[in-house]
Amino acid sequence: MNKKTVRDVDVTGKRVLVRVDFNVPIQDGEVTDDTRIRAALPTIQYLIEKGAKVILMSHLGRPKPENRDQFKMDPVAKRLSELLGRPVKKVDAVVGPEVEKAVAEMQPGDVLLLENTRFEPGERKNDPDLARKLAALADIYVNDAFGSAHRAHASTAGVKQVRPDLPAVAGFLMERELEMLGKVLSNPERPFVVVLGGAKISDKIGVLERLLGLADRVLIGGGMANTFLKAKGLEVGKSLVDEEALDEARRFLEEAGDKIVLPVDVVVADRFAADAEAQVVPVDRVPPDWMILDIGPKTVEQFAEILRQARTVFWNGPMGVFEFPRFAEGTFAIARVLAELEDAVTVVGGGDSAAAVQQAGLADKMTHVSTGGGAALEFLEGKELPGVAVLDPA
């Protein structure tokens, strides 16, 4: 990684403004999944130990004026305080006099959490005025929010853009993300196998193009596979199909040949519901009124055989509607296969696939589980991420 990190700057006694990704699920005022908070702990603890004044900022959800209360950062501050074993002060504003006063009163080792950055209308517009007010709080800027690095917002890119003199470095999570995803792109051990799932091809055309050029095999499941199956002229019933991407799917099939591996059997349901009637059928026997909701057992075995030969695996997107237990088996089976690969680098690309390996209790068996779904895909596509571009070169 050719960016400076928190190790490369003297943070002692300095006001360190850290963009973290605390966009976590909250129910009844409690954080229900603290994975993203835990992912930021190494950077926060390092800064505390070095005697920095740690000012944290993050977005949370998509608040509107009428529902702001449910997107306040208070439950996050509470959970972070429990994980750190020390108080975390939380202010009810992102910028302004209350924030300035709280920052002025900080002692080395203190941790302050600002209110949800999206409460400021200028955040998503990368408003220079908001960015200047945020930058004024800091002696050093740290971006540790890989999951938001593909967005050019005031808190991810604007702070450094309005203060080019401000030291801007990566946190440990950002460093790890760029290192592991960079390894997939630049120097994968072979065979390199990509597993792609999720709903739509059109969201992933760029990354599919890039990975088809890099990978030895690309295994496709989930809703994406339906589009490829239909592009081959097969009946897919009432399955989710990305109609706009059928021509692209045909092109990929023509150009990639047997590099693309599609399901040979699927689990179909008579309706989209957890308690739907289901059956396993070959891909050329999908009933016209049914829909594909998972890959079948023969496909799992075919995919597993290819994955067991791999030395590098990148996985993004579930193999079926894994929110419904009956249609989660394909996704969890792939997670189990990856967990058993002892000599391979296994990188899970955020989003639903990260959620799936967490649910399966197998996240610690992967080499790396990315915290950024969209950011990981854009990085692998070769796009420059605004939140990374602004960081100081090493």
Looking at residue 198, its pLDDT comes to: 86
Looking at residue 352, its pLDDT comes to: 84
Number of Cβ within a 10 Å radius of residue 33: 14
Does residue 351 carry a catalytic annotation? yes
Looking at residue 141, its pLDDT comes to: 98
Does residue 259 carry a catalytic annotation? no
Q: Using one digit for the tens of pLDDT, what is the confidence trace for 68-86?
A: 889 999 999 999 999 999 9
- Tally: H helices and E strands in the chain: 14, 17
Confidence bin at 268 (pLDDT 50/70/90):
very high
Looking at residue 351, its pLDDT comes to: 78
Q: What average pLDDT does this structure show over 136-164? A: 97
Q: What average pLDDT does this structure show over 307-323? A: 95
Distance CA 175, CA 169 (A): 9
Looking at residue 35, its pLDDT comes to: 87
Q: Using one digit for the tens of pLDDT, what is the confidence trace for 205-239?
A: 888 999 999 999 999 999 999 999 999 999 999 99
Looking at residue 111, its pLDDT comes to: 98
Looking at residue 185, its pLDDT comes to: 85
* Cα radius of gyration rounded to whole Å, the chain: 22
Cβ contact 156:148 at 8 Å: yes
Confidence bin at 125 (pLDDT 50/70/90):
very high
Which residues lie closer than 8 Å to 182 by C-beta, 6 or more apart?
1
Looking at residue 349, its pLDDT comes to: 87
Region of 238 (left: φ > 0; alpha: ψ -120 to 50; beta: rest) is alpha
Looking at residue 373, its pLDDT comes to: 80
Does residue 374 carry a catalytic annotation? yes
* Residue linked to tokens 């050019």: 152
Q: What average pLDDT does this structure show over 305-326? A: 95
- Angle between the N-to-C axes of helices 246-256 and 222-231, in degrees from 0 to 180, rounded to the nearest 10: 80
Q: What average pLDDT does this structure show over 18-24? A: 96
- Helix, strand, coil in percent for the chain, rounding step 5: 45, 15, 40
Query: What are the phi and psi torsion angles at 20 (to 5°)?
Result: -110, 170
Whether 202 shows a pLDDT value over 80: the answer reads: no
Whether 274 shows a pLDDT value over 90: the answer reads: yes
Looking at residue 200, its pLDDT comes to: 76
Which residues lie closer than 8 Å to 50 by C-beta, 6 or more apart?
11, 12
Does residue 257 carry a catalytic annotation? no
Looking at residue 1, its pLDDT comes to: 64
* Residue linked to tokens 């950077």: 43
Catalytic residue among 350, 351, 372, 373: 351
Q: What average pLDDT does this structure show over 114-125? A: 97
Token duo for residue 88: 């975390």
Please report the sign of the dihedral spanned by the C-alpha atoms of residue 275, residue 277, residue 282, residue 285.
negative
Catalytic residue among 36, 53, 160, 230: 36
Catalytic residue among 4, 163, 200, 232: 200
Looking at every residue in the chain, the average pLDDT score rounds to: 95
DSSP state of 115: P
Whether 203 shows a pLDDT value over 80: the answer reads: no
